Amino acid sequence: MTIQELIQKDNTFSESGFLAKVDNTYIMILTSIMTENLKRVDHKVGNELYQQLTEKLNKLQSQNEIQMYDELNVKDSSIISIEDKDPYYEIKVNLISRYMDYKIDKTTREYKSGNNQSRIEKSHILTFRKKKNANREGISRKCPGCGASINANSTGICQYCGTIYNTEDYDWVLQDMKT
């Protein structure tokens, strides 16, 4: 499927808007690992990927380490494939990032391992999915708990009643991230 074909089926799709969301989601994930706060991204990633991120964070914590991604930026991101898979659309993106990748001791903040002298460049394949009917559901973004208007790009938690909502019902969700 081409970008134009996707736009014909989902008139809410914008390539530049989507790629900005991809870059932002990626940066948020790495920042969440550094700050040990995955709650910031749990509504932006699928359950399986969230579990993998949680396991990574738990391993770091058990070793009394903090994973650092200093001078982090996205050099480039581009769509490499779009598939129509019932009941969702799936887009694979090649994302190239640059950062210093190292670990520090959580207590002493001293360097333990990795590269803290210069940035490395890594290529990643990110897989995003969106429900086919999400563009229709997204027209009225209401909290399933209290009915208040919600912002699907914010925290994933209703600011009024605290209900956690599933971004997959409204937008693209990161399902897989391979380096």
- Of 4-13, 23-32, 79-88, 161-170, least confident by mean pLDDT is 161-170
CB within 8 Å of 121: residues ≥ 6 apart = 75, 96, 97, 98
What distance lies between CA 29 and its chain's CA centroid? Answer: 6
How many other β-carbons are positioned within 10 Å of the β-carbon of residue 25? 19
Q: Which pLDDT does position 161 carry in this prediction?
A: 80
Given a contact cutoff of 8 angstroms between Cβ atoms, the answer to whether 34 and 75 are in contact is no
Q: Write down the pTM of the prediction.
A: 0.83
Q: Which domains does the chain possess?
A: 3-132+172-178 (3.10.450.240)
Percent of the chain scoring above 70 in pLDDT: 85
- Residue 166: exposure state from Cβ atoms within 10 A (0-12, 13-18, ≥19): middle
35-80 pLDDT, tens digit per residue, is 999 988 988 999 999 999 999 999 999 999 999 999 999 999 999 9
Q: Which phi and psi angles does 42 have, rounded to 5°?
A: -60, -25
Q: What share of the chain is helix, strand, coil (3-state, %, to 5)?
A: 30, 40, 30
118: pLDDT confidence band, cut at 50, 70 and 90?
A: very high
CA 167-179-166 angle, 5° bins: 10
